[in-house]
Amino acid sequence: MILQALAKYYENLAEEGKVPKPGWCSAKVSYQINLSEEGDVKGISCLKTEEERGKKTVQVPQVFLVPEMVTRSSGVSANFLCDNAKYLLGISQETDEKSKKRAKECFDAARERHLSILAPGKSTMAKAVYLFLKSGILKKQWNIRKSEIIGKKLQMEAI
């Protein structure tokens, strides 16, 4: 009885938008990758907004409802559609070989997860993400955009 009442209460809160529905969560997102329909990177957009906090003005990520995110410790576990640059772009702030190898492992995990879920014919957006990740990080156009992305220092923030 109590469990059913709690489940019903949660469903009511979810309908009101006060809590995420099962399978979803709220995430702070700082940037978005803009893709063409062919999966090419068109640019990176900052989603942060400025807020007054005391005497300071700070940039704050926006909160979006995203597919449920995994809890990570030290393992490699990719999130679907919303993750940091190490997973979605294969880049890391550190430049040593160990960090580069880890970034590649993270990207490969994200790539496998997305390619297993997304089918290229389902929708224009799904096709764009599919083609972007299918092509891998060594695409010619990626090298052009890499300096732009690193310049924005978004390596550890959600994309």
- Across the range 17-24, mean pLDDT stands at 85
User: What are 65-82's pLDDT values in tens digits?
Assistant: 999 999 988 899 999 999
How many other β-carbons are positioned within 10 Å of the β-carbon of residue 5?
A: 9
Single-letter amino acid code for the residue at 4: Q
- Asked if 137 contacts 33 with a C-beta cutoff of 8 angstroms, the reply is no
The domain limits of the chain are 27-151
User: What are 46-60's pLDDT values in tens digits?
Assistant: 999 999 999 999 999
H helices within the chain, ranges in order?
Answer: 2-15, 85-88, 97-117, 124-135, 140-151
pLDDT recorded at residue 12: 86
- Asked if 69 contacts 27 with a C-beta cutoff of 8 angstroms, the reply is yes
- Asked if 66 contacts 24 with a C-beta cutoff of 8 angstroms, the reply is yes
Please measure the distance between the N-terminal and C-terminal CA atoms of the chain and give it in whole angstroms: 41
d(CA 31, CA 46): 5
Q: Which of 32-36, 112-116, 132-136 has the lowest mean pLDDT?
A: 132-136
Q: How confident is the model at residue 144 (pLDDT cuts 50, 70, 90)?
A: very low
Looking at the predicted structure, is the pLDDT value of residue 109 above 60? yes
Q: How confident is the model at residue 141 (pLDDT cuts 50, 70, 90)?
A: very low
